[in-house]
Structure formats: C-alpha cells, structure tokens
Amino acid sequence: MNSSDLLSVYDVFTPSMPAREAFVEREALNDRLIDAIRTPGKQLIIYGHSGSGKTTLIERKLFEVYEHHITVSCVKGMTFEQVVLDAFDQLDAFLLVGGSVQQSASWNAQISTLWAQVSAAKMAMVEARSERVLPPQLTVQNLARLVGAAKACWVLEDFHKLDPEEKEKLAQAMKMFMDTARNYPAIKAVAVGAVGTAREVVAYDQEMRNRVAEIEVPLMSDAEISGIITAGAKKLRITFEKPVRESIVKFSNGIPAICHQLCLSACLSAGVGVTQSSPREIRKPSLESAVREFVESASDSIRDRFDRAIRRERVRKYDNYSIVLRAVCEAPLEGATIGELSSIIARIEPDYPVNNIGRYLESLMTDGRGAVLRKDQASGKYFHSDPFIRSYSQAFFRDAMSTSGSSEKHSAVAIEDVIREIERMLEQGSFKPKVRSL
C-alpha cells in the first residue's frame, strides 16, 4: 500500500464537516445543480433540513466551477450590513493577492480605485463601531462589481437565521446581483437555508422568481446512506458486517451526519484509526458501543429538543403536545396518519377533542418544537424525525406513565432507559418511514 493512501478515520467519516473521502454523489440533484450554476445570471437558493448535505454539495459542485468564492455564515442577530462587510472582508484576501483577477489594465485600475475606497470605508465602519450603518462605498453594487471582477460567487450560508427585516434586504441584494450580471455574466449569489425558507426569501420580490433556481437537498435515501458506508469502508480497507451496516442505515434515517458519527465511533471502538494494512471487519459489539456513545453525547441535545416539543406555554385543560407525541410513540415505527393517531388518542385519553391534532403535529415539525416529527407527504404519515428522538420519547412516556400515571412529571430520562428502548426497537425490525427522495 502506498503511504499516500493511508487515511485517518477522522478524514473519512466526518460527522461535523463537509464530506470529502466518503462522499456519495446525489445523482438526483447533480444535473439541476450544475445547470443552475452554469446558467449566467441564475441565482441559487439551496434549502433542506439541517444536516441534509447542503454545504457538502456546494463545496463539491459550486467550487468545481468557480475558482473563488466568498462564504458568509449568517448567525442569529447579524445585521445585513454585517453580512455585507464580512463579504468585503473576504474579497480583500484574494483581490489583494493579485493574479486572481485576470482583467485588462483599465479594469484593474478601476478595481484598485474602488478597492481603495472600500478599504477606507471599512476602516470608517470599524471606527464608527456601528453595526447598522455602512459607509457610502460599501454598497451591494460595489460588492457585486468586485465579486464579478474576481469571477467569484457569493455564498450566504444559513440565511434563515437572519431576522425578517434583514432577509428582505438580502432579497434586494440578490436582485442587485442579478442586475449586475448583465455586465459580469459569471456573477452569482447562492443562499443556503433551512426547509421552508426558500419561498419566503423569493416571495419578498416577485420579480426574482424566474431568475432564481430553488433546489431542495432532501434527506438521503437508504441507498445513499449505504453508499457512505461503502465509500468510507473502502478507503479504510474495512468491511462492516451486514447486520451492522443495516442498523447504521436504519439509525441514520436519511441523515448523513448520523451515519458518519456511528461509523466513526464504531471504527474507533474496533481500534481502526487509519487505513488498515489487511482487511478488517467491524462487528456488532463495536456498533453497540457506537450507539451508546452517540446517545450519551447527543443526550443533551435530544433532551433539549424533546423538552421544547412538550413545553407548555400556558396551562390548558390538556397537555396537547404530550398527548399527540405519546400517540406517535404508540404508533408503528413508520408512523401514522391523522386518522390513525386520532384512534390511538381515543384509547389513551377518551375525552380528548381530536379535531386540533393536525395543528399540533405540524407544529412538532418546526424548530421551535425541536423538529421531533416529520411527515411523509405521499402517505400522510407522521413519524419521529430520528430513531433517537423516538427512543427518548418512548423512554420518557414509559417512565412518566409508570410513576405518576401522567406525563406531568418532567425529569430527564436516564440514558440506560433510552438505550433499552433502542435495543427493543432493533429487535422489532425496521424503522423505515419512507423518506422522500427525488
């Protein structure tokens, strides 16, 4: 084996970084994505669940076509002006490096004049310590001109985290970019956000609709998840025992980050730190330890999501969210329709008025309620967004029911109980709500 083929397991399985070594192509998305990237003047909105693979895809596809990019990651509370300043800051680096901008001499002269203005304005902004006011030269037009001259594209990650007012300005900025594209055909802005936010941003400006490609990055199909395992195993010269592979696919439930995490932990537990010199097989005990580790390290966030799901804003006659969530727990693994859930509720809480449960179900799919549920549009079934949240919920309700007969008691669920639920679930067969794929 060549020493350059020797990879660390951390480079292969990357639960918190864009995938490189264990990358699987998203065939269903590639054509549309490449088309949109190559079409002059076409701006992009890429959206999907957190962890569905947006950043990874951009890194692979967009950056293959574009030599340069500036990426601004939006965080909550950021003003649009800060976003723009951050973009100018990043342009700084490669415009000054030189060589990257292959333009005529007069272009270069224009750009350096503009750049001198921008630098001065940036200083002024820093000195004024204002987060709201941009100096006159730091306009979106000038940003667009610089981005265009540098043949770069502007990537805005997680734009959904901005407040509505800032988002509206963002929509205007994208329009500006498109207008500038007449002079700089390569100019491109890409906004990356959460599910449901694409339409929101485009809706701010009717005119934009035709000039924007909206591309959804759905959760992965089981075959794609399986592809990650195969790709990673090949790089490390290992194999995953069939039941181990199947369990990982099942637990991942369409979320590639979970797949990477379980593979990584299972490898580490089996003592696989780098590409093996002779083939090795990853067996069940390594997976069990990986699952335990996953639950332990994720328990805070799982608990947090669950707490948000059943939080009561005010005391009502019924603890609506708990009742609805408990019904989903009693439903089969692949979920249940509103009608089926109504019958389950009629059994556990006979007097409960079921006509509102649709509203609570929808709400449980939003971030505000921990995004604990998902819905399969085709079958109309609601199901837990991942097997870990299901196991946690089940352990919680089992616990609450056995101690006080109601879900009023609200203490954290022991990790042991969650793991016991997971084992039970594994024995039951498949957790396979059909994740929609393109």
Ligand X SMILES: Nc1ncnc2c1ncn2[C@@H]1O[C@H](COP(=O)(O)OP(=O)(O)O)[C@@H](O)[C@H]1O
- The interface partner of residue 195, options being ligand X, Mg ion, none and the CB cut-off 5 to 8 Å by kind, is none
Closest separation between CB of residue 346 and ligand X, Å?
Answer: 39
Structure tokens at 119: 């630098």
CA distances from 77 to 47, 156, 163, 281, 349 (A): 20, 15, 7, 48, 42
Q: What minimum distance in Å lies between the beta carbon of 24 and ligand X?
A: 4
CA distances from 65 to 7, 23, 35, 36, 391 (A): 27, 18, 11, 11, 43
The residue range among 159-167, 254-262, 267-275, 289-297 that interacts with ligand X, by the rule CB under 6 A, is 254-262
What does 374 bind: Mg ion, ligand X, none (CB cut-off 5 to 8 Å by kind)?
none
Identity of the residue, 71 or 286, whose beta carbon is nearer to Mg ion in the bound complex: 71
The least distance separating ligand X from the CB of residue 73, rounded to whole angstroms, comes to 10
Interface with ligand X (CB under 6 A), residue from 6, 18, 73, 161: 18
CA–CA dist 124, 127 (Å, integer): 5
* Total residues binding ligand X (CB under 6 A): 21
HEC readout, the chain: CCHHHCCEHHHHCCCCCCCCCCCCCCHHHHHHHHHHHHCCCCEEEEECCCCCCHHHHHHHHHHHHCCEEEEEECCCCCCHHHHHHHHHHHHHHHHHHCCCCCCCHHHHHHHHHHHHHHHHHHHHHHHHCCCCCCCCCCCHHHHHHHHHHCCEEEEEECHHHCCHHHHHHHHHHHHHHHHHCCCCCCCEEEEEECCCHHHHHHHCCHHHHHHEEEEECCCCCHHHHHHHHHHHHHHHCEEECHHHHHHHHHHHCCCHHHHHHHHHHHHHHCCCCECCCCCEEECHHHHHHHHHHHHHHHHHHHHHHHHHHHCCCCCCCCCHHHHHHHHHHHCCCCCECHHHHHHHHHHHCCCCCHHHHHHHHHHCCCHHHCCCEEEECCCCEEEECCHHHHHHHHHHHHHHHHHHCCCCCCCCCCHHHHHHHHHHHHHHCCCCCCCCCC
* Binding of residue 394 to Mg ion (CB under 5 A): no
Does residue number 228 form part of the binding site for ligand X (CB under 6 A)? yes
- Say which entry of Mg ion, ligand X, none residue 428 contacts (CB below 5 to 8 A, set by partner kind): none
CB closer to ligand X, 135 vs 218: 218
**One of 193, 218, 254, 256 touching ligand X (CB under 6 A):** 256
| Beta bridge partner(s), residue 212 | 43
Which one of 54, 175, 305, 384 is in contact with ligand X (CB under 6 A)? 54
- The least distance separating ligand X from the CB of residue 227, rounded to whole angstroms, comes to 7
Q: Shortest Cβ distance from residue 18 to Mg ion (Å)?
A: 8
Q: What x-and-dash track marks residues 258-297 binding ligand X by CB under 6 A?
A: --x-------------------------------------
Q: Is 55 in the site for Mg ion (CB under 5 A)?
A: yes
The residue from 9, 12, 26, 244 that contacts ligand X (CB under 6 A) is: 26
Task: Please choose, out of 20-28, 200-208, 275-283, 346-354, the segment that lies near ligand X by the rule CB under 6 A.
Answer: 20-28
| 15: partner contacted, choices ligand X, Mg ion, none (Cβ within 5-8 A by kind) | ligand X
CB 150 to Mg ion: min, Å: 23
Shorter beta-carbon distance to ligand X: residue 59 or 421: 59
Tokens of 206: 């009717």
Residue 52 in contact with Mg ion, rule: CB under 5 A: no
| Angle of the 338-348 helix axis to the 320-330 helix axis, nearest 10 | 110
CB of 353 to ligand X, least distance (A): 38
Q: How far is the CB of 112 from Mg ion (least distance, A)?
A: 34
Q: How far is the CB of 46 from ligand X (least distance, A)?
A: 9
Counting contacts by CB under 6 A, is residue 55 touching ligand X? yes
Binding positions for ligand X, 34-53, rule CB under 6 A: 48, 50-53
Examine residue 218 and tell whether it contacts ligand X (CB under 6 A).
Answer: no
Q: How far is the CB of 19 from Mg ion (least distance, A)?
A: 12
Under rule CB under 5 A, residue 90 binds Mg ion: no
**Residues at the interface with ligand X (CB under 6 A):** 14-15, 17-19, 22-24, 26, 48, 50-56, 228, 256-257, 260
**Residues at the interface with Mg ion (CB under 5 A):** 54-55
